[in-house]
Structure 1
Amino acid sequence: MKSTHFLFLLGLLAACNSQPKDKEKETEAKAEQPASHEPTVNCYQYATATDTVRLTLVHVGDNINGMLIYQLKEKDRNVGSINGTMNGDILLADYTFKSEGTQSTRQVAFKKAGNAFIEGYGESAEVNGVEKFKNVDSIVFSSSMKLEEIPCK
């Protein structure tokens, strides 16, 4: 009888000791899985009494998508989407927009400056129907229209 109780207790101890190892393996497996890329959304705006530029960025991994709206005095309103990437502090993206009923695509560049973005300008040329910067390294970020971070609506 004593040997039966001893074997039972030994089996019980062995079973108890194996559970933490399983949990350790489970924890290690979870740690090895790549982190999911939850989208992060940030909104930026430049606004005066007559002009508004609004930029909404959705970060998913290395990709950035979003919306860009230009409402400038005495110019046509442009509303469209952007798709690009961050290279250091520079956002380089294709902007597909509608203006006066016509859809167009052009490359845009914004430089991150603290909690704001400043749009860059440079010489461009049409490549396969898209206006692209001729030399990304020569883009000038001196615009007075600083898009400050705002709460997203």
Structure 2
Amino acid sequence: MRTTVLAIITCAAVVSACNSSGSKQPGDSVSTAEAVKAGEAGAACYQKVVGKDTFHLQLIVNEDKANGVLDYNFFEKDKNSGVIDGTLSDNILRATYHFQSEGQTSDRPVVFKVMGQQVYEALADNFDANGVPVFNADNSQLKFEPQPYNKVDCK
């Protein structure tokens, strides 16, 4: 529990550093900690644009642990904004995404394949009774979105 709280606080600091406007907006999911420079935190930032939708992923990897910030900005829809906390093994990141959307706080699993300058988001095999994505436990059986997140400078 303590590790999770520390990871969220670290991610909050990174969110502050990456927020290009430098100010909080109503509905931001993270509201704690002083800003730290993304470069000092060892963060890697990625972005994917699909039509008018923009997705941002910021990762801080320490050995096999990874945490960071994940934002889904859907055009003319509510955005999902939050933090991820998980493990990285054989270039596969399995994490819990703790986010806010439509005023509600939720958790769901996310899986990414980290490939140098690009990151690919996994597609869920199915969904449980509550609509939570379920991913194959065998990394070799995972399927990924064809369009990657591309590495960008952290802001």
TM-score norm. by structure 1 comes to 0.65
Choose the corresponding residue for 1:55, options 44, 54, 57: 57
Greater CA radius of gyration, 1 or 2?
A: 1
Aligned residues: percent identity?
Answer: 36
- Post-superposition, which runs of at least 4 consecutive aligned residues in structure 1 deviate over 6 A? none
Contiguous gaps of at least 5 residues in structure 2:
1-39
What's the counterpart of residue 100 of structure 1? 102
Structure 1 position 80, deviation (Å): 0.3
Q: What is the aligned residue count?
A: 113
**Aligned equivalents of 2:45, 2:81: Cα separation in 1:** 15
Could you say if the C-alpha distance between residues 48 and 130 of structure 1 is closer, same or farther in structure 2, counting changes exceeding 3 Å? closer
Matched letter for residue 139 of structure 1:
L
RMSD across aligned C-alpha pairs, in angstroms?
2.3
Q: Which has the higher helix share?
A: 1
Of 50-59 and 74-83, deviating more is 74-83
Choose the corresponding residue for 1:69, options 51, 71, 74: 71
Q: Judge conservation of contact 2:118–2:150 (CA < 8 Å) in 1.
A: yes
Matched letter for residue 105 of structure 2:
Q
Alignment of 1:1-150 (within 5 A): 39-48=41-50, 50-122=52-124, 123-125=126-128, 131=132, 133=134, 135-137=136-138, 138-141=141-144, 143-150=145-152
What's the counterpart of residue 29 of structure 2? none
Match of 1:136, SS? coil
**Aligned equivalents of 1:140, 1:134: Cα separation in 2:** 9
Q: Judge conservation of contact 1:84–1:93 (CA < 8 Å) in 2.
A: yes
Could you say if the C-alpha distance between residues 49 and 76 of structure 1 is closer, same or farther in structure 2, counting changes exceeding 3 Å? same
Structure number with higher relative contact order (C-alpha < 8 Å, ≥ 6 residues apart): 2
Could you say if the C-alpha distance between residues 59 and 130 of structure 1 is closer, same or farther in structure 2, counting changes exceeding 3 Å? farther
**Aligned equivalents of 1:64, 1:113: Cα separation in 2:** 15
Contiguous gaps of at least 5 residues in structure 1:
1-37
